[in-house]
Amino acid sequence: MNIQTGLPDPIDCFVALELSRSKWLVGALFPGQDKVTTTTVAGGDTAELLSVLERIANKATDRGHSNVRLRVCFEAGYDGFWLARFLIARGIDTTVLDASSFLVSRRGRRVKTDRIDVEAMIFTLKAFLLGDKSVCRAVRLPTPEEEDAKRLVRERAQLVKERTRNVNRIRGLLNLHGIRSVRGLWGGEWRQWLARGRTGDGRALGPFLLNELVRQFERLRLVADHLKALDAERAAVVAQDVEVPGGSKIAMLKQLCGVGEGGATTMVTEIFHRQFKNRRHLASYLGLAPSHYASGDVSRDQGISKAGNQSARVMMVELAWCWLRYQPQSELTRWYRQRFAQKTGRSGKIGIVALARKLAIALWRFIEDGLVPTGARLKTS
């Protein structure tokens, strides 16, 4: 009984959603029951989903349970977070679970069906909400603004990959015919150069080859134009002409030598827009936390976990290399030089990853507390 309201405490009815493109499987565990009942809903049909959830609540009430509270969960995946926002906006308690954190049986081959997944998810949610945090991890629900800001750097990463594919395709086609130097890749009169081009044995380019090359160059120009537009959008964010979550932190990070506009934007939109409990929490989110293995007499280091934000982790390693070049007098650089300067190959790569972890923590403290990394230089105005 709730003393303040005088109403009985709510009774939880656990619901899990197994989402796919064609259908959604809804599983429900009614209070006092140990068997999961399932219902199928057409994929994306939110009206029917709400109707099913209402029927589940009414059925639980008809079984003699008053003040029923639905506790809904689903795995983070292809459908993103919009469904969680949709349900929460309608007063339905919703948890997004990290599927990679589930405890699974390692005995023989694991049977997998949608029904088995729904049942496992329901009992996992029940244990998690009752206080057992070892069974899984809940995913933090980002705001629409935070989710949208990530597109600024993730689209650019995709465009850079597309540009590389186009350049490699153009060079490959020309190399097949003995042409090793290419003009106009980054602008210029490439059409005229193609028209005058000759193969290694002195022939003019074939008509179909010429047409394919023209289309490849046009795609390359389009990608280059899109990259310029994205860079202009990013510059507007840095100048705070466009507001994004944590936008002021981008200009703050740019004050440090070795941290450019692209790196600062990536780190803020991917990482520093959110709060972290401590440095271990930050390193774990980046996937830069060590994963030690110790069992009996066996004890070894398995390297970093790589279980966090991949985009931010890649950028953090790039920033670590820039830090060595542009911050030679900083304490972090001196630490790296003393420990890894004489090592090459794999040891050097391990060292730069270790530096990336230390640098991420130093940047976090710089943003949150204004503590400039020891020995680091700030850019002059």
3-state secondary structure 211-279: HHHHHHHHHHHHHHHHHHHHHHHHHHHHCCCCCCCCHHHHHHHCCECCCCHHHHHHHHHHHHCCCCCCH
- Whether residues 161 and 124 share a domain: the answer is no
Between 96 and 181, where is the model more confident?
A: 96
pLDDT band at 10 (very low <50, low <70, confident <90, very high): confident
pLDDT band at 247 (very low <50, low <70, confident <90, very high): confident
| 335: containing domain | 247-369
Residue 379, in any domain of the structure: no
C-beta contacts of 334-341 below 8 A and 24+ residues apart: 334/375
40 within 8 A of 24, measured Cβ to Cβ: yes
* Cα gap 126→124, rounded to integer Å: 5
Whole-angstrom distance between the N-terminal and C-terminal Cα of the chain?
A: 63
- Whether residues 225 and 113 share a domain: the answer is no
Residue 121, in any domain of the structure: yes
- Whether residues 164 and 279 share a domain: the answer is no
Number of domains in the chain: 3
Structure tokens at 83: 């469904």
Between 105 and 321, where is the model more confident?
A: 321
Short-list 12, 13, 15, 11, CA closest to 121: 15
Number of Cα atoms under 13 Å in the Cβ half of residue 379: 13
The predicted-structure confidence for 114-131, as pLDDT tens digits, reads as follows: 888 899 999 999 999 998
Report CA Rg, the chain.
27
pLDDT for position 381: 59
Entry field: residues in the chain: 381
pLDDT for position 321: 93
pLDDT for position 4: 53
Most confident of 168-172, 280-284, 290-294: 168-172
Between 97 and 2, where is the model more confident?
A: 97
Residue 378, in any domain of the structure: no
pLDDT band at 251 (very low <50, low <70, confident <90, very high): confident
- Residue 155 has φ and ψ, to the nearest 5°, of -65, -40
* Cα gap 325→318, rounded to integer Å: 11
- Residue finishing a domain among 141, 176, 207: 141
User: Tell me, what CATH number does 81's domain have?
Assistant: 3.30.420.40
Res. 28: pLDDT tops 90: yes
pLDDT band at 3 (very low <50, low <70, confident <90, very high): very low
pLDDT for position 367: 92
Residue 17, in any domain of the structure: yes
Residue 269, in any domain of the structure: yes
Q: Average of pLDDT values for 269-291? A: 87
Res. 2: pLDDT tops 60: no
* Cα gap 15→118, rounded to integer Å: 9
Number of Cα atoms under 13 Å in the Cβ half of residue 241: 6
- Residue finishing a domain among 101, 122, 141: 141
* Cα gap 180→16, rounded to integer Å: 58
- Residue finishing a domain among 206, 221, 238: 238
- Whether residues 220 and 302 share a domain: the answer is no
